Structure 1
Amino acid sequence: MISSKLHINSKANRRFRRLALNTVITLYFLIVAGGVVRSTGAGMGCPDWPKCFGKWIPPTEASQLPANYKEIYGAKLKGEVEFNATKTWIEYVNRLLGAFTGIMIFLTLLASLPFLKTGNKQIFYFSLGAFILVGFQGWLGAKVVSFELKPVVVTLHMLFAIIIVFVLLYLFTWSGYVDKRFQVSEGGKKALNTLGIAVMGISLLQILLGTQVREAIDEIIVRLGYNSRAEWIDQIGMRFYVHRSFSILVMAINALWVFRILKFEKRGSFTANLAISCSIILGAELVTGLVMAYFGVPPWAQPLHLTLAILLIGLQFVSWLVVNGNTYLKYETSPQVR
């Protein structure tokens, strides 16, 4: 009887961790899609929500729309609407990914129910929190459309995506069993804890500074159009230089964070690999930033740059959780969670 109970708990744990990981991956695909939407100017490809031009399956050509569709949707959005099949379907795919992400988070919530009978009830409550957050994120997505891509709303939309990533990564890490905890004295752990918070805070601030650059580009696009990409950077002004200069601080504090972790961990360990991965991703993010600055902001570089930034802060968060495992994670030594 006891053996059967342990088997059920172990199976439920593996199912939950697999779903949590797949949900994180799905969410990153959604972030990529959102970046593509912004880089291609497809944010208003569907001028209404949740339908697209009043249809559940968007049109592929203007002839499928009413002759006065500009008046219908232009009046609603206080601006002219020009149908573009490519932009419409880019935005529609983004919405489909958003809906699929919501389903994945709901399945994760269902998979967390067995934890209500264990000492890790927090897993269920955080899963419920993620589900509520993704519902709010969907509502905020609708407001992005109704406010015609107002910069503050777009930035909030992205910020909540990062929060949801954090919650899911927290659940994935928390529900696992770590055979070898990070070995460091209490004094060293306290120092790394503080440094880790600073690393994540600076990375988040850099992402928000990047949104300011993106908002400036949106304003420039209105004046110059998408065919003048080579001129965008020169037109941004101070916001671009602040964002670029701040990357020096981001590199410095990340280098210090990785160095301090490797001081206590041997290469090849889980924690050391996380730290090294952060360095590689940061390097790739900087390269995409340079490409945008000196090669006319190619469309592919924008979503990749954003995705790498959010992937980086996600791995920093996991590293911080593992480093502070005794404080922030509840590891059980019983076979139920092995």
Structure 2
Amino acid sequence: MINSKTPTDSRNDRLFRKLTLFAVITVYLLIAAGGIVRSTGSGMGCPDWPKCFGSWVPPTEAYQLPSNYKELYGAKLKGEVEFNVVKTWTEYVNRLLGVFTGILIFGTLLASVPYLRTHKSNLFYASLAAFILVGIQGWLGSKVVSTELHPLMVTLHMVVAIVIVFILIYTLIRSYPPRTNTFKNKKFLLVKQLIVLSIVLSFGQVMLGTQVREAMDGAISMLGYDARSQWIEQLGLPFYIHRSFSLVVLGVNTLLVYQIWNERKRSRLRRYLIQGVIVVILLEIFSGIVMAYFSVPAFAQPIHLTLAIVMLGTQYSLWLESTDILSAEKKQMVGTA
């Protein structure tokens, strides 16, 4: 594990790392919240944006709404015009978490300003990119609502969330001094290539998952939320491709785990990350089995989605850590030449 404090740490370094770590965790929570919104059909719980039923704080009872709210919002709610307080507040809490995430990432941007005139200026620009993307993510959120959950907008919304996670992980790991280690170069380069391949395949699996989700949305619109046991039957080819491709992802990651596990010298961070890959993949497969064979329970969908993004983040952290090691070793070789 990365030491929380190094000899050259300043107070700002420690603050920046804490804020960035909290931002990563919050983004993952936001992704999970988005999964809960979709799995419970709460995406239109607030039919307008940025307000909810025309108010900054949504109602808790139908009588608090305008008397003609069914006429005002009936088209967007597609006939489900009876006020549902659970769906409304599920979506509203998701939005609040999004605002909190934006504030936290803005805090990391402010904490990165001192790096602007140092050799760590990349941390400022990465933090700035994350903050800009959070703004874009908020705009995409409004489009998701205004387009009434159009599949393309929902998918794009998720992709941007993944990019934000990657940027924040980059800033967190790069805020620490490079770590050195001793490896046989050919084997280490092979491991790095396996990491890249695992990221590509895992991202492809996530994109296939969005196709399954779109097919499931079609099944939901046709059968309703009370017919969960019949959803899987309606998914067709995307579901079977997604399920079969998981074996490819598992195979490549198993090979990656084997190669890193047999390294003679590996950092504590590297050991924790590869253990994380193992645990997350097993949990991801288990949650997929639960969804496929137990009528797609609502709790399993956000877990399945969040685990997929956690897996991508862990694999990306491994890649960054590998790049750090190679960079440090090259500098060491130049220094001794």
- TM-score (normalizing by structure 1): 0.91
Contact 1:189 1:324 (C-alpha < 8 Å) held by counterparts:
no
In the other structure, the counterpart of 1:121 is: 121
In the other structure, the counterpart of 1:65 is: 65
Contact 2:180 2:329 (C-alpha < 8 Å) held by counterparts:
no
| CA–CA distance in structure 1, aligned partners of residues 327 and 237 of structure 2 | 39
Query: Greater shift after overlay, 324-333 or 195-204?
Result: 324-333
In structure 1, the residue corresponding to 2:10 is in which secondary structure? Answer: helix
Contact 1:203 1:313 (C-alpha < 8 Å) held by counterparts:
yes
Counterpart of 1:195, as a letter, is: L
Counterpart of 2:289, as a letter, is: L
Counterpart of 2:168, as a letter, is: L
Counterpart of 2:322, as a letter, is: V
Question: Is the aligned partner of 1:10 residue 2:10?
Answer: yes
Unaligned segments of structure 1, at least 5 residues: 1-5, 334-338
Question: Is the aligned partner of 1:299 residue 2:298?
Answer: yes
Question: Is the aligned partner of 1:139 residue 2:177?
Answer: no
Question: Is the aligned partner of 1:167 residue 2:170?
Answer: no
Give the C-alpha shift of residue 209 in structure 1: 0.7
Counterpart of 2:232, as a letter, is: I
Give the C-alpha shift of residue 195 in structure 1: 1.6
Matches within 5 A, 1:128-207: 128-178=128-178, 180-207=179-206
Give the C-alpha shift of residue 186 in structure 1: 3.3
In the other structure, the counterpart of 1:316 is: 315
Give the C-alpha shift of residue 270 in structure 1: 2.0
In structure 2, the residue corresponding to 1:110 is in which secondary structure? Answer: helix
Counterpart of 2:32, as a letter, is: V
RMSD: 2.2
Residues 250-271 of structure 1, C-alpha deviations (whole Å, 9 max, x = no match) = 1000011111112225578221
Distance 1:267 1:196, change over 3 A: closer
Distance 1:268 1:132, change over 3 A: closer
| CA–CA distance in structure 2, aligned partners of residues 11 and 258 of structure 1 | 36
| CA–CA distance in structure 1, aligned partners of residues 164 and 97 of structure 2 | 15
In the other structure, the counterpart of 1:36 is: 36
In the other structure, the counterpart of 1:85 is: 85
| CA–CA distance in structure 1, aligned partners of residues 266 and 189 of structure 2 | 22
Counterpart of 1:36, as a letter, is: I
In structure 2, the residue corresponding to 1:205 is in which secondary structure? Answer: helix
Contact 1:266 1:272 (C-alpha < 8 Å) held by counterparts:
no
In the other structure, the counterpart of 1:212 is: 211
In the other structure, the counterpart of 1:260 is: 259
| CA–CA distance in structure 1, aligned partners of residues 323 and 287 of structure 2 | 32
Contact 2:46 2:88 (C-alpha < 8 Å) held by counterparts:
yes
| CA–CA distance in structure 1, aligned partners of residues 267 and 9 of structure 2 | 30
Counterpart of 1:295, as a letter, is: F
Question: Is the aligned partner of 1:107 residue 2:107?
Answer: yes
In the other structure, the counterpart of 2:48 is: 48
Question: Is the aligned partner of 1:224 residue 2:223?
Answer: yes
| CA–CA distance in structure 2, aligned partners of residues 231 and 323 of structure 1 | 45
| CA–CA distance in structure 1, aligned partners of residues 21 and 57 of structure 2 | 30
Give the C-alpha shift of residue 184 in structure 1: 2.1
Contact 1:182 1:271 (C-alpha < 8 Å) held by counterparts:
no
Distance 1:52 1:182, change over 3 A: farther
Distance 1:137 1:21, change over 3 A: same
Distance 1:66 1:314, change over 3 A: same
Unaligned segments of structure 2, at least 5 residues: 1-5, 333-337
| CA–CA distance in structure 2, aligned partners of residues 314 and 194 of structure 1 | 16
Residues 265-304 of structure 1, C-alpha deviations (whole Å, 9 max, x = no match) = 5578221221121011100010000000001111100000
- TM-score (normalizing by structure 2): 0.91
Percent identity between matched residues is: 52
Distance 1:69 1:254, change over 3 A: same
| CA–CA distance in structure 2, aligned partners of residues 267 and 48 of structure 1 | 51
Counterpart of 1:319, as a letter, is: L
